[in-house]
Structure 1
Amino acid sequence: MDVNKASFTREVPEDRQIALKKILSLRKPAKIMIIGDVDTGKTTLAVYLANELISNGLKVAIIDSDVGQKGILPPGTISLALVDSYFSSMEDLKPYAHYFVGSITPTQFFGEMVVGVSKLSEVATRLADVVLIDTTGMIYGSGVDLKRMKIEAVKPDLILALGRENELEPILRGYEEITMELQVSEQARDFSRAERRAIRREKWRKYFENAKLRVFELSNVVVTGTSLFQGKPISDGEKSLLEKLFKWVVIHGRKIGDKYFVVKADVVEGPRNIDKNVLRFLDFTKLSNILVGLIDREGFCLGVGILKGINFAEGKIELLTPVEEPVAELRFGRIRVREDGEELGILDRDAL
């Protein structure tokens, strides 16, 4: 299956050439943020501009922050690539650095999205003349707030806005002086949800095709993004009480402040009346195939892995990952995915 949503072409609307001239005139290093709805040609624009800027002798960096429709593998991350030669699509680029988000949608992950783009932008401006920032198509509702937070954090020198009518006005209000509005190309193609999922499936599969099992000792890594190891272990008495009250087998339990968090398996099926302000729980069947970021000491993501098992008694975590470098931190995401690329759903932020 072709996983390239955007490929290089010089058959572009005339305003792209005007945008190119504007970028060439900016003081360097310059940060360019591309904003637009889904399927408006944001990535195609980034590929076009990068190649043209290179032909003008400039060093170019691309930040791919479209976590769901990533060109630069893997999905679920924000990625930085340095471009020094002609390329036809984002899939051709090798990542220089990643920041882990752990989901294929920005919802519930605004902090990671803003910090990731900001952190990678700082790196990119030290290495390139022009930094092109490709964003998600989330432009309505809370997406307005996310885009404005990104603009505040990154402080782009130019915003290229691919909009229909006035749909981007809530995002761009107050930023008119640094905004250039571009028309949506007639060649921009709409992709169905099923097509997007199929494209992601192939990208996941490609990323994990050479993955191997790695076992991490909890004593040797920091584990974040989850309540699994916060607080202190529950006592045998607390475990027994919970099992009797709710007809569970409690596999793992922690007391975090005055609240409880447990991993359980049902002994008897049926509804339970549980006050989630006192007790949170995760079914053991959901504690597998969770995307996990492998993080270095600087907070950058070396790559991702798929959770295959946790041995709570021995303090070990088993991941399937292509990453071979030393790891300082394991950061839990919320999407569940198999190595063949099949997505198994997204957990709520508070579920884990």
Structure 2
Amino acid sequence: MNKARYTQEVPEDRKELLNALNEHKKPVKIMILGGVDTGKTTLATFLANELLSSGFRIAIIDSDIGQKGILPPATISLGFPEGLFESFGEIKAYKHYFVGSITPNQFFGEMIAGVKLLTDEAEKKADIIIIDTTGMISGAGVELKRMKIETVKPDVIVALQKENELEPILKPFEEKTQIFRLEVSKKVRKFSREERREIRKEKWKKYFRDSKSYTVNLNHFIISGTQLFQGEDINENEKSLLEALFKWLIIHGRKIGGKYLIVKVDTSNIPRQVDKNVLQYIDFEKLSNLLLGMIDKDGFCVGLGILKFVNFRDMKAEILTPLDEETIKEIREIRFGRVRVREDGEELGLLDRNAL
């Protein structure tokens, strides 16, 4: 279920890096960069185990939200391994930050905030902090990595590259940060998109395996990550007009700064022309199986839930989660994600950031 496992059979440049880290002033923050299937997590696992064996306190920040080793996906996780481990999957999470997606696209703010906040937490307890990142390194990924480096300020950047694909990211930091450029191991295995999806399916399934269903009053929580509860309710005249005009059954409607946000069900299969600057809508069924982050008073994610049903009139929601009742009492905020997933691990698709 995990792509990367601990091995001491590594290229020689990994051992040179290890020696440098042993001698480096502590605490030290290490950020590992590389494209998809370049061995970032395998390297992080090797470094963590070897440094643990040398007696250092190690923190792992797993920010590869789509191929997480530390469960669950769609979060950034911090763990403190207490002993040698084979894979990230064995590490118990200390804290999570909820991103709500399995891709960084449209979620740069969450990616940067999550890594920064968890790094700050890690610095309180660890000698060495290893930050594993996503494989998004081109296009907008260059800017994401730049902003993440500028915010987190790692002491060491480890660049796993096949040729020079990371140079646009590395160049601004040449004289500011210690950089180790390593070759991609010839033993690295490539995974297809379908294989990645199947691996993630098993992880979702494992995480939600012992879940229970709870009916919660949404009025008792801060609701974030969505505009569905912002602004004011549309009035009956507006509702009737929109239903007649677009042949919808409107389940829920809000007016936010002069713009309408509608949750609807189609009552007729007709073509519709909608000015999205004035009216935004989403199908009611798209809210079913939507991923939720259960957030504590400090802004960290204590666990995930799956939205099964929402009654907008009574402000009640049915949520499936592995969290127990005592933990749910600690939740201050429910944050809407953009992944639709069932408890059996089957992903039903992603919603656009602006959909809600």
**What is the TM-score when the length of structure 1 is the normalising length?**
0.98
- Select 2:152's aligned residue among 148, 151, 154: 154
Q: Does 1:313 align with 2:313?
A: yes
Amino acid at match of 2:180: M
- 1:207-218 alignment to 2 at 5 Å? 207-218=207-218
1: distance between equivalents of 2:218 and 2:344?
A: 27
2: distance between equivalents of 1:216 and 1:149?
A: 38
1:227 deviates by 1.1
Q: Does 1:296 align with 2:296?
A: yes
Instruction: Describe the SS at the equivalent of 2:172.
Output: coil
Q: CA RMSD of the aligned region, Å? A: 0.7
1: distance between equivalents of 2:321 and 2:340?
A: 14
- 1:42-71 per-position Cα deviation (integer Å, ceiling 9, x unaligned): 000000000000110000000000000000
1: distance between equivalents of 2:11 and 2:167?
A: 22
2: distance between equivalents of 1:203 and 1:175?
A: 36
- Of 248-257 and 321-330, more deviation after overlay is shown by 321-330
Q: Does 1:116 align with 2:114?
A: yes
Instruction: Describe the SS at the equivalent of 1:274.
Output: coil
**Alignment partner, residue 180 of structure 1:** 180
- 1:289-329 per-position Cα deviation (integer Å, ceiling 9, x unaligned): 11100000000000111110111111112111112212100
**Alignment partner, residue 339 of structure 1:** 343
- 1:33-182 alignment to 2 at 5 Å? 33-177=31-175, 178-182=178-182
2: distance between equivalents of 1:185 and 1:345?
A: 33
Instruction: Describe the SS at the equivalent of 1:173.
Output: helix
**Alignment partner, residue 257 of structure 1:** 257
**Alignment partner, residue 283 of structure 2:** 283
1: distance between equivalents of 2:174 and 2:271?
A: 54
Kindly report structure 1 stretches of 4+ aligned residues shifted beyond 2 Å: none
Consecutive unaligned residues in structure 1, runs of 5 or more: none
Amino acid at match of 2:343: E
- Select 2:353's aligned residue among 336, 349, 352: 349
Count of residues in correspondence between the two structures? 350
1:176 deviates by 2.2
1: distance between equivalents of 2:323 and 2:111?
A: 22
**What is the TM-score when the length of structure 2 is the normalising length?**
0.97
**Alignment partner, residue 19 of structure 1:** 17
Amino acid at match of 2:349: G
2: distance between equivalents of 1:218 and 1:194?
A: 36
Instruction: Describe the SS at the equivalent of 2:46.
Output: helix
**Alignment partner, residue 327 of structure 1:** 331
Consecutive unaligned residues in structure 2, runs of 5 or more: none
1: distance between equivalents of 2:77 and 2:85?
A: 17
Instruction: Describe the SS at the equivalent of 1:126.
Output: coil
1:224 deviates by 0.5
1:225 deviates by 0.5
Amino acid at match of 2:333: E
2: distance between equivalents of 1:21 and 1:311?
A: 58
Instruction: Describe the SS at the equivalent of 2:131.
Output: strand
1:155 deviates by 0.2
